[in-house]
Every structure is written in structure tokens, then in C-alpha cells.
Amino acid sequence: MAVCEGREVIRMLVYIAALGVMMAGIYAITMKDNIIKKLLGLSVMSNGIHVFLIALGYREGGVMPIMQDLDFQRFSMTAVDPIPQALVMTSIVINLSVLALGLSISIILYRRFGTLDSGKIRELRG
């Protein structure tokens, strides 16, 4: 019983750590004025979401979600849920594209306005 409770505590700590990483990303997005810092905050926040989704799909003693025998009952009780893993892999590719696009837009903004401070860019826009 104590081992089971210890694993549940570790699982809750993973959820809390994922929430902390998400909150750090939200802080960077909302409180920082530099566009690069906002983009990095967005990336950090999405990584926290990825950790949370992977932790949701984890099953202690789980097996790969590839059915090799015909015992569906046993397979359904032991297989790890593949949906969070697939969603996270897709999200990683999308986040990389968004980050690359954001960085390229920030290069254009710096060339045009000479700064990456979002408040100053609003003032310079006129």
C-alpha cells in the first residue's frame, strides 16, 4: 500500500511540475516586453503542456500499444494510451514551426523598427 501511495505522490509531483513550467511560460508571455522572450515563454508553456499530456497517458507497467496477440482483454488493461503521445509529437512539430515563424517575424520587426520591445514598437508605429 505504501509503494502505491508513493507512486501517486510522484505522479502528483509531475503534474505540479508541469503546471509550474506552464505558469513560467505564461508569466514570460504576459509580463515581458521583449518579443524574443515572449516567444521563448510560449515555447516553455507548450513544453509544460507536453509533460502534462505525457503524464496523463502514463500507465505503470504498461506495454507498447501494439497488439501482438489476440487477448484483447489483457491488452486493454496493460497497454499505454497512444493518443497523448501522438498529440504531443504533432504539437512539437507545430510549435517548432510557430517558433520559427515568430523568430523570422521578429527579425523583420527589428530591421524595420530597430527594437524588439513591443511597447516601443506600438509607439513607433504611429
- Say which CATH number the domain at 19 has: 1.10.287.3510
Which among 114, 111, 106 is positioned nearest to 32, based on CA atoms? 106
- Counting the structural domains of the chain, the total is 1
Above 60 in pLDDT, residue 104? Answer: yes
The neighbour count for residue 99, using CB atoms within 10 Å, is: 15
Above 70 in pLDDT, residue 1? Answer: no
This prediction's pTM: 0.82
Q: Tell me which residue has cell 505558469.
A: 23
Which among 54, 41, 36, 30 is positioned nearest to 106, based on CA atoms? 36
Residue 102: Cβ-neighbour burial (10 angstroms; 0-12, 13-18, 19+): middle
pLDDT tens string 8-27: 888 899 999 999 999 999 99
Residue 45: Cβ-neighbour burial (10 angstroms; 0-12, 13-18, 19+): buried
Average pLDDT of the residues of the chain:
88
Gyration radius (Cα) of the chain, Å: 21
The domain in which residue 7 lies consists of 2-124
Instruction: Give backbone dihedrals phi and psi of 63, rounded to 5 degrees, phi first.
Output: -110, 165
Section 57-73 average pLDDT? 76
pLDDT tens string 76-94: 777 888 888 899 999 999 9
